[in-house]
Structure 1
């Protein structure tokens, strides 16, 4: 709690002085903190500079997860200047939320970020990752939508397996075969505008499941109308169906794990989260925000991203 108060109230009186106030007077900083958190969440859900179908999908994903877990998710406590940051030249900005779960939550944390290029407002990257705690070895949920122009985007959707699927055929059947996850990839690849996308990162390719959707979508130069139609009619329902599978069959799964297996899952999860920051954010933030600001943002992300590990 002291760390949170320092983050939001850098110039507040010391706790030794505050302790002499009445409980009624102490409620004011708490109210300010709660208002700050609500304002930060409200600003985050604005998702500026994206089309209506893109924004509707992002808002629906966030609110669906929040509605399902409700009181099991704690407010984002990142410092305000890290939650929303714009570089000095006003060319790039980022909105970031890290939402930890409480001790009763199956979700250890959510990482949601949205970044955009203010020079070309069509350029944006939106991402949502939901990680389960080590009492559950079910897959984690990952969504990325990178809009690189009005007529082209890269889409990544997967339930990341924390286990070797070759050694665990029953696991493969339970979470990937029985849930018919591969039908969603097949549906998308039937579209003429959709092509498989091969990431240059061997790490990402190694950690993905066999049912992962990793595609490039390119359309004619029509101002983005067709690609928005694809987002609305295909990416939106497919993503929500996969999220529904994750919520119903993964996040709420009852799995019996021993101490050694839980320790292994925790170690593996830390590697994946650390590499996600290193590859995805660490490579682009210095270019977007400068080395000093990027270092501050990345250090804050790591501090809060791993605080429950």
Structure 2
């Protein structure tokens, strides 16, 4: 979750030329902008971007959030979730210097955005988090887009997780899952209710059929243990000259799988409340907290400061900790 590592290079695979429809975009807090123009947030130019745009004469122009296909997919799915959840999501209260942030005091090589909407009282929603990161590296750039919708303790239904990690113009790692909140081996009825009856595994099978796809495995054994058996954890590599093919796959098969998974989650999980014994609920809450804390420890505290510097990283991590409901380490 919230992976900040560059995906490992994948082996080259043959590409296919198929036409897929383009998803209509919705603006994220940070978006592609014209040279010299300010990024818009809620109709206003943010102070963070205004400050970062005022580079000294002759200085290198600050990095901007580039538009890539998987961000369009994430925006479309976020819009779908917001439309369905409606008043169950509170307005975002993320401060401007976290909603949009960049490295190097505004002139660095990394730029990011974060939006968190908490669940309304009485709903099953804990929070919905959207984030985008773009970082220039010596051999190119890394672009990461995340959409997480986590539920609270009124239900044991799985969380929704989607992340795209693009390390080159021709390759991407995709993480899609209904993130389980119980030990699946101890609760076969949980597998049946949320994974077998919903036929969610069909989406993984479809993505696996792509000739450019191969399994992706996190270096962290703990991270691997948190996913379900039906998770889509794939590395897509289209080989040299495969930029167009990758974009088609992202807008086509990956967008279709992500939308189907989100629809299953909205229909089968988002509105589900669970009768649980107190001990069972306490165990679930403990599991949730461990997963959230470890996610921040493994992925954020070790990597975000290197990308954005300690001051920016501290602000962003603090806001994510607040959303996750975990104490600062």
Cα deviation, residue 293, structure 1: 2.5
For residues 121 and 241 of structure 1, what CA distance do their matches in structure 2 show? 32
Q: Does 1:64 align with 2:68?
A: no
Task: Single out whichever of 100-109 and 263-272 deviates more from structure 2.
Answer: 263-272
| SS of residue paired to 2:248 | helix
Report the aligned-residue RMSD: 2.5
For residues 132 and 226 of structure 2, what CA distance do their matches in structure 1 show? 23
Equivalent residue in structure 2 for 1:99, among 88, 98, 117: 117
- Equivalent in the alignment of 2:142: 123
Structure 2 residues without counterparts, runs of 5 or longer: 1-39, 47-63
Q: Does 1:151 align with 2:167?
A: no
- Equivalent in the alignment of 1:192: 211
Q: Does 1:274 align with 2:287?
A: no
For residues 104 and 245 of structure 1, what CA distance do their matches in structure 2 show? 22
CA shift digits 1:56-84 (9 cap, x unpaired) = 21111111111111111111212110111
The two structures have a TM-score, normalised by structure 1, of: 0.81
- Equivalent in the alignment of 2:129: 111
More helix by share: 1
Equivalent residue in structure 1 for 2:235, among 216, 219, 225: 216
- Equivalent in the alignment of 2:31: none
Cα deviation, residue 183, structure 1: 1.3
For residues 280 and 155 of structure 2, what CA distance do their matches in structure 1 show? 10
| SS of residue paired to 2:42 | helix
For residues 240 and 187 of structure 1, what CA distance do their matches in structure 2 show? 13
Do the aligned partners of 2:117 and 2:127 also contact (CA within 8 Å) in 1?
Answer: yes
For residues 265 and 151 of structure 1, what CA distance do their matches in structure 2 show? 39
For residues 75 and 140 of structure 2, what CA distance do their matches in structure 1 show? 19
CA shift digits 1:180-236 (9 cap, x unpaired) = 111111111111100011110111111110101111110122251010011111000
For residues 238 and 191 of structure 1, what CA distance do their matches in structure 2 show? 12
Cα deviation, residue 261, structure 1: 2.4
Find the structure with the greater CA-based Rg: 1
CA shift digits 1:269-300 (9 cap, x unpaired) = 12212222222222221111112332232123
- What does residue range 133-144 of structure 1 map to in structure 2 within 5 Å? 133-144=152-163
- What does residue range 199-238 of structure 1 map to in structure 2 within 5 Å? 199-222=218-241, 224-238=243-257
| SS of residue paired to 2:184 | coil
Task: Single out whichever of 215-224 and 255-264 deviates more from structure 2.
Answer: 255-264
For residues 37 and 91 of structure 1, what CA distance do their matches in structure 2 show? 21
For residues 80 and 245 of structure 1, what CA distance do their matches in structure 2 show? 33
The two structures have a TM-score, normalised by structure 2, of: 0.76
Cα deviation, residue 95, structure 1: 0.3
CA shift digits 1:228-255 (9 cap, x unpaired) = 0111110001000000000000111232
| SS of residue paired to 1:147 | strand
Report the number of matched residues: 269
Do the aligned partners of 1:143 and 1:157 also contact (CA within 8 Å) in 2?
Answer: yes
Higher relative contact order (CA 8 A, sep 6+): 2
Label 1:205 to 1:114 Cα distance change in 2 as closer, same or farther (>3 A): same
CA shift digits 1:119-150 (9 cap, x unpaired) = 67752001111111111001111111001000
